[in-house]
Chain A
């Protein structure tokens, strides 16, 4: 088996990797070049890419994916508490828990498709949320969240004499930039896996389920195992993302399972472009950017930005803009989401594709220019 299927894939992956690794540089002018937010970009990127395998490729809209994210977080924090502060066992454990949980939910939910499937997953997620919030108190510590304590057993750490009080990869702190590069590596691996999946016969089967499940079963395929596997893989991605959240920031709370969190990943995927490889990641970055940066703009900051305008005009512009930033960031996001869904149903990726197509058409209209652009032999 080769590492890549076509040269184009390799190029795609290489460019993506370069963009990710250089994030601290190009995000700085946007005020987002600090480790915590970039880690969040990576983590929710993994979450959205995994969600896309189910929603974008297979066509099953799950409204309860946050339950797997939350379960992964709890699993990772418990691994920190009981085994070791090393993120590797924690992430493996988080993936296993995410996958097993998805398998259980899948047994029931995947009996139905369409809106009934969505409602079933939503019900499961809300159930998990309520359980985590109060009933499973000894495991989840309810609303105050599961945290690390110095008195935790940490069997493996004690055995090998490793110390430290926060998650670390053999002494490398998972806070800060190292945490970001660790998450970036995982994101790249996840992106690569989803790319291969997309290109594989299995991916083809998933796409067939999306386009017409009935017709596919008439041709003799049993669609159930495919859908179930996609659901489990996607649950494992969510579990992994939940684990990563706990690795960079060792706390797990029930709110991660709430339906709003499930809805957020749907928004990310649709905003970026469902069914595309890169779209969900772009959607995740945009939503997290809005949530963290846009929400922090105050009127004073706006005045600073528009200071070059004459006084009266400056006040006027600030007055118009200020409802859309700060606590009004939901409004801006909502408007943007509506515009994209109305004019670009395929999300931002469709926008990119249209622009590229336009450029190509324009260059083919000018045969002379096109010949000039030909590379020298």
Chain B
């Protein structure tokens, strides 16, 4: 550096500026220290953060999930008809907000991506003072936001995420999942399809080439092989493929008589539609009717696949056609508010918001330490899934799983599937350390 012509005046000026610059950080850090836990609500309201994809391939499901959250906030604040608040057994919610504070919310577009999800959650935590973050439509996003919230001392209530990892190897003490997972899908679906199609089948798997696809394929292969099926071939396809013809052509001559599509979202809609267009369903193989199975069904994607969904078996977390009290109350108030039946994405969001609020109310505090304790091993009923346990060992909900079937003769575009069978939660139970991982400590400090 050139110090040759530094005079007194210039020296003073420079040091003053440098000093002010260096002192600046202290202004912003000192004020935020005096709280018991991160984003402790002080006024008459408490803020929830809803991080859902509003753009990209999962935008529709994200938007519907957000509707579920908005409805939950209304019901928590005592507006509207109360929905499932009236049927929720195990609830101490009074419909006057949470712990007497009015519930407000902020939302953001997570684009179903890990980075964008973390950015949007960070905004809600750091700027808007969200006490809890919830929502997701992809597992990548859910896992990323879950670990972020855990680092920041915030509770995360996962939305739609079906990978085993969310509450398996990537589980966190601050994160909770109500949605079911790939393993449960396999365990629930295998006996039903073996029963429906016979025990001497050869299955051909076409699988999306990423974590979720693999775990889905693995669980179906494991469950069906134990019941006598053989696996003819397992083929991986890149995510985001629009033309499946090169993978579908070999299926016809492979000696297989069942095609299993381990895909989700648009990929599922594309693959299924093309498989049906290929005439696979009219084929005979090994003297039997050729069948197609889609283990994980999203109701919104099923709408996209249209007629191709007819008669196809798959699993779902929840469906608006269930006849229990909770489901009916929820479908009624959702329909009144938005004019169409809720998707399972909206349902899981709504339920998660209620469960969190109820845990705060039971714990008597918003402090994550109390909330985690209140949620672990919490048993409840009346939220549309029958009796449910929030298992403390991995923060996963255990409840019934639906096997759904494409409707032969749909009345409108929401009438696309029917409940084929309700599988009891005992059939899908597994050990909480099945995939390793550790919950770690509860974090409550920013």
Q: How many angstroms between the C-alpha atoms of A37 and B118 in the bound complex?
A: 11
Instruction: Collect the chain B residues with CB atoms within 8 Å of residue A3's CB.
Output: 1-2
Whether, in the assembled complex, A144 has its beta carbon less than 8 Å from a beta carbon of chain B, the answer is yes
Interface residues of B in 331-351 (CB under 8 A from A): none
For the complex formed, measure the closest distance between the CB of B442 and the CB atoms of chain A, giving whole angstroms.
13
Chain A interface mostly:
helix
Taking a contact as CB atoms closer than 8 A, the residue among A18, A24, A249, A295 that contacts B118 in the complex is A249
Considering the complex, give the chain B residue whose CB is closest to the CB of A17.
B21
Q: Are B59 and A36 in contact (CB under 8 A)?
A: no
Considering the complex, give the chain B residue whose CB is closest to the CB of A73.
B115
Stretch of A175-183, A214-222, A344-352 on the interface side: A175-183
Q: Are B238 and A147 in contact (CB under 8 A)?
A: no
Known: A144-B139, A327-B54, A330-B55. A177 touches B123 (CB 8 A): no
Residues 119-130 of chain B, each 1 if its beta carbon lies under 8 Å from chain A, else 0: 110110011000
Taking a contact as CB atoms closer than 8 A, the residue among B115, B148, B165 that contacts A256 in the complex is B115
Instruction: Collect the chain A residues with CB atoms within 8 Å of residue B238's CB.
Output: 130
Instruction: Collect the chain B residues with CB atoms within 8 Å of residue A165's CB.
Output: 151
Whether, in the assembled complex, A292 has its beta carbon less than 8 Å from a beta carbon of chain B, the answer is yes
For the complex formed, measure the closest distance between the CB of A248 and the CB atoms of chain B, giving whole angstroms.
9
With a 10 A CB-CB cut-off, give which of B120, B123, B139, B152 has the most chain A CB atoms: B123
Q: Are A166 and B212 in contact (CB under 8 A)?
A: no
Q: Are B28 and A177 in contact (CB under 8 A)?
A: yes
Known: A144-B140, A176-B29. A34 touches B123 (CB 8 A): yes
Instruction: Collect the chain A residues with CB atoms within 8 Å of residue B114's CB.
Output: 145, 251, 253, 255
For the complex formed, measure the closest distance between the CB of B158 and the CB atoms of chain A, giving whole angstroms.
13
Known: A133-B210, A175-B152, A255-B140. A36 touches B113 (CB 8 A): no
Q: How many angstroms between the C-alpha atoms of A216 and B25 in the bound complex?
A: 49
Whether, in the assembled complex, B381 has its beta carbon less than 8 Å from a beta carbon of chain A, the answer is no
Chain B interface mostly:
helix
Whether, in the assembled complex, B44 has its beta carbon less than 8 Å from a beta carbon of chain A, the answer is no
Taking a contact as CB atoms closer than 8 A, the residue among B63, B126, B438 that contacts A34 in the complex is B126
Q: Are A296 and B25 in contact (CB under 8 A)?
A: no
Q: Are B143 and A145 in contact (CB under 8 A)?
A: yes
For the complex formed, measure the closest distance between the CB of B151 and the CB atoms of chain A, giving whole angstroms.
6
Instruction: Collect the chain B residues with CB atoms within 8 Å of residue A64's CB.
Output: none
Interface residues of A in 26-47 (CB under 8 A from B): 31, 33-37, 40
Instruction: Collect the chain B residues with CB atoms within 8 Å of residue A166's CB.
Output: 151
Q: Are A327 and B148 in contact (CB under 8 A)?
A: no
Q: How many A residues have CB within 8 A of the partner chain? A: 50
Q: Are A327 and B140 in contact (CB under 8 A)?
A: no
Q: Are A251 and B147 in contact (CB under 8 A)?
A: yes
Taking a contact as CB atoms closer than 8 A, the residue among A145, A175, A178 that contacts B144 in the complex is A145
For the complex formed, measure the closest distance between the CB of B161 and the CB atoms of chain A, giving whole angstroms.
10
Interface residues of A in 185-209 (CB under 8 A from B): none
Taking a contact as CB atoms closer than 8 A, the residue among B29, B120, B170 that contacts A147 in the complex is B170
Q: How many angstroms between the C-alpha atoms of A40 and B127 in the bound complex?
A: 14
Whether, in the assembled complex, B106 has its beta carbon less than 8 Å from a beta carbon of chain A, the answer is yes
Q: How many angstroms between the C-alpha atoms of A288 and B108 in the bound complex?
A: 14
Q: Are B24 and A22 in contact (CB under 8 A)?
A: yes
Known: A291-B116, A296-B107. A2 touches B122 (CB 8 A): no
Instruction: Collect the chain B residues with CB atoms within 8 Å of residue A298's CB.
Output: 107
Q: Are A326 and B54 in contact (CB under 8 A)?
A: yes
Instruction: Collect the chain B residues with CB atoms within 8 Å of residue A293's CB.
Output: 123
Interface residues of B in 134-188 (CB under 8 A from A): 139-140, 143-144, 147-148, 151-152, 163, 165, 170
Taking a contact as CB atoms closer than 8 A, the residue among B28, B63, B115, B165 that contacts A253 in the complex is B115
Whether, in the assembled complex, B236 has its beta carbon less than 8 Å from a beta carbon of chain A, the answer is yes
Whether, in the assembled complex, A21 has its beta carbon less than 8 Å from a beta carbon of chain B, the answer is yes
Interface residues of A in 317-373 (CB under 8 A from B): 326-327, 329-330
Taking a contact as CB atoms closer than 8 A, the residue among B2, B109, B148 that contacts A295 in the complex is B109
Q: Are B54 and A292 in contact (CB under 8 A)?
A: no
Instruction: Collect the chain A residues with CB atoms within 8 Å of residue B1's CB.
Output: 2-3
Taking a contact as CB atoms closer than 8 A, the residue among B55, B126, B212 that contacts A36 in the complex is B126
Q: How many angstroms between the C-alpha atoms of A40 and B2 in the bound complex?
A: 33
Instruction: Collect the chain A residues with CB atoms within 8 Å of residue B373's CB.
Output: none
Q: Are A296 and B24 in contact (CB under 8 A)?
A: no
Whether, in the assembled complex, B440 has its beta carbon less than 8 Å from a beta carbon of chain A, the answer is yes
Q: Are B140 and A35 in contact (CB under 8 A)?
A: no
Q: Are A327 and B122 in contact (CB under 8 A)?
A: no
Known: A150-B438, A251-B144. A292 touches B170 (CB 8 A): no
Q: Are A134 and B140 in contact (CB under 8 A)?
A: no
Instruction: Collect the chain A residues with CB atoms within 8 Å of residue B144's CB.
Output: 144-145, 251, 253
Q: How many angstroms between the C-alpha atoms of A35 and B152 in the bound complex?
A: 13
Instruction: Collect the chain A residues with CB atoms within 8 Å of residue B147's CB.
Output: 147, 251
Interface residues of A in 278-295 (CB under 8 A from B): 291-293, 295
Q: How many angstroms between the C-alpha atoms of A292 and B210 in the bound complex?
A: 28
Taking a contact as CB atoms closer than 8 A, the residue among B108, B127, B211, B440 that contacts A143 in the complex is B211
For the complex formed, measure the closest distance between the CB of A5 and the CB atoms of chain B, giving whole angstroms.
11
Q: Are B209 and A134 in contact (CB under 8 A)?
A: yes
Taking a contact as CB atoms closer than 8 A, the residue among A2, A24, A134, A295 that contacts B210 in the complex is A134
Q: Are A35 and B25 in contact (CB under 8 A)?
A: no
Instruction: Collect the chain A residues with CB atoms within 8 Å of residue B122's CB.
Output: 34, 36-37, 249
Q: Are A144 and B163 in contact (CB under 8 A)?
A: yes
Known: A142-B210, A327-B59. A255 touches B115 (CB 8 A): yes
Instruction: Collect the chain B residues with CB atoms within 8 Å of residue A17's CB.
Output: 21
Interface residues of A in 118-148 (CB under 8 A from B): 130, 133-134, 142-145, 147
Q: How many angstroms between the C-alpha atoms of A149 and B2 in the bound complex?
A: 47
Known: A181-B25, A326-B109. A37 touches B209 (CB 8 A): no
Q: Are A143 and B24 in contact (CB under 8 A)?
A: no
Q: Are A143 and B210 in contact (CB under 8 A)?
A: yes
Interface residues of B in 25-58 (CB under 8 A from A): 25, 28-29, 54-55
For the complex formed, measure the closest distance between the CB of B50 and the CB atoms of chain A, giving whole angstroms.
10
Whether, in the assembled complex, B235 has its beta carbon less than 8 Å from a beta carbon of chain A, the answer is no
For the complex formed, measure the closest distance between the CB of A263 and the CB atoms of chain B, giving whole angstroms.
14
Considering the complex, give the chain B residue whose CB is closest to the CB of A38.
B126
Q: How many angstroms between the C-alpha atoms of A298 and B17 in the bound complex?
A: 40
Considering the complex, give the chain A residue whose CB is closest to the CB of B169.
A144
Instruction: Collect the chain B residues with CB atoms within 8 Å of residue A249's CB.
Output: 118, 122, 148
Whether, in the assembled complex, B239 has its beta carbon less than 8 Å from a beta carbon of chain A, the answer is yes
For the complex formed, measure the closest distance between the CB of B211 and the CB atoms of chain A, giving whole angstroms.
5
Instruction: Collect the chain B residues with CB atoms within 8 Å of residue A40's CB.
Output: 119
Instruction: Collect the chain B residues with CB atoms within 8 Å of residue A18's CB.
Output: 17, 21
Q: How many angstroms between the C-alpha atoms of A296 and B212 in the bound complex?
A: 29
Considering the complex, give the chain A residue whose CB is closest to the CB of B121.
A36
Q: List 19 A-B contacts (CB under 8 A).
A: A4-B2, A18-B21, A31-B127, A34-B126, A35-B126, A36-B126, A37-B119, A37-B127, A134-B236, A143-B139, A144-B144, A144-B211, A149-B438, A151-B438, A177-B29, A251-B147, A296-B120, A326-B54, A327-B55
**Chain B residues with a Cβ under 8 A of chain A:** 1-2, 17, 21, 24-25, 28-29, 54-55, 59, 63, 106-109, 113-116, 118-120, 122-123, 126-127, 139-140, 143-144, 147-148, 151-152, 163, 165, 170, 209-212, 236, 238-239, 438, 440, 446
Which are the 6 A-B pairs with shortest beta-carbon distances? Answer: A36-B122, A327-B54, A34-B126, A34-B127, A253-B114, A3-B1
